[in-house]
């Protein structure tokens, strides 16, 4: 289910619409290793961490409704429920919250590490960062950043912007083509 970026192989799934969203929907819930927000009340860290954990547990369990509701209202509007990719749940996936950074009173970044098995059954760890915004509903997911292929530039996605999502898809496609071309060169 979860593919290591080291495998450098693409499937038709990774070329479909909203590929970036499909990628991060393969994570799980495992509460551990929280880093406090320096100088901020513990309750703020707890709220932010809880929002990320709830989202990631929904992803692990394949709960599309909870995934959708974890997005900010603007991100839900942009992604629309009918455009939200559905991924199978993963019983083997887990994640670790590594750091929580409060950008300002209403924005935060959370670094996580996602762990799952690759196609050969080996554990693979991938870092992923999440952007959150405090809304009337509480802390909600507004974006992500991750490395799709090792050695390539990180993909940054603002879920509140259709243009940003399209740019991220184009960046993934360009990286995919570069990897395929590189593999062809290696096989010559």
User: Looking at 55-120, which runs of residues are DSSP E strands?
Assistant: 94-104, 107-117
pLDDT of residue 60: 84
Q: Residue 38 is part of a domain; what is its CATH number?
A: 3.10.450.50
pLDDT of residue 85: 54
Distance CA(90)–CA(27), nearest Å, equals: 7
Total of domains in the chain: 1
Any domain includes 43:
yes
In the predicted structure, residue 59 carries a pLDDT above the cut 90? no
Any domain includes 124:
yes
**Distance between alpha carbon 91 and the CA centroid of its chain, in Å?**
17
Biggest distance spanned by C-alpha atoms of the chain: 58
What average pLDDT does range 164-168 have in this prediction? Answer: 88
What average pLDDT does range 154-165 have in this prediction? Answer: 90
pLDDT, mean over the chain: 76
Could you list the residue range(s) of the whole structural domain that residue 33 is in?
17-186
pLDDT of residue 41: 66
| Relative orientation angle of helices 73-83 and 162-186, to the nearest 10 degrees | 60
pLDDT of residue 69: 94
Any domain includes 12:
no
pLDDT tier, 81 (very low <50, low <70, confident <90, very high otherwise): low
Per-residue pLDDT of 118-149, as tens digits, reads: 889 999 998 989 999 999 999 999 999 888 88
Distance CA(157)–CA(163), nearest Å, equals: 10
Any domain includes 7:
no
Any domain includes 1:
no
What b/e string do you get for 114-134 counting C-beta neighbours within 10 Å, with b at 16 or more? bbbbeeeeeebebebbbbbbb
Any domain includes 5:
no
Any domain includes 127:
yes
Stated pTM of the model: 0.72
Any domain includes 47:
yes
Q: How many CB atoms lie within 10 A of CB 80?
A: 9
In the predicted structure, residue 94 carries a pLDDT above the cut 60? yes
State residue 176 phi and psi, 5-degree precision: -60, -45
- Category of 124 on φ-ψ map: left (φ > 0), alpha (ψ -120 to 50) or beta: beta
* Nearest Cα residue to 138 out of 68, 51, 42: 51
């Amino acid at each position: 289910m979860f593919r290591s970026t080291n495998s450098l192989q693409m499937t038709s799934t990774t070329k479909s619409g909203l590929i970036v969203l499909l990628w991060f929907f393969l994570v799980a819930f495992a509460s551990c290793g929280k880093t406090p927000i320096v100088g901020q009340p513990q309750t703020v860290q707890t709220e932010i961490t809880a929002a990320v954990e709830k989202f990631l547990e929904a992803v692990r369990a394949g709960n599309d409704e909870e995934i959708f509701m974890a997005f900010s209202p603007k991100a839900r509007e942009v992604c629309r429920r009918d455009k939200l990719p559905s991924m199978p749940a993963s019983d083997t996936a887990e994640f670790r919250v590594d750091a929580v950074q409060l950008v300002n009173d209403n924005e935060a970044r959370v670094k996580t590490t996602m762990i799952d098995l690759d196609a050969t059954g080996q554990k693979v760890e991938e870092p992923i960062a999440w952007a959150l915004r405090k809304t009337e509903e509480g802390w909600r997911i507004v974006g992500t950043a991750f490395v799709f292929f090792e050695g390539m530039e990180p993909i940054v996605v603002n879920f509140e912007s259709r243009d940003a999502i399209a740019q991220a898809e184009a960046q993934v496609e360009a990286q995919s083509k570069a990897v395929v071309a590189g593999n062809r060169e290696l096989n010559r």
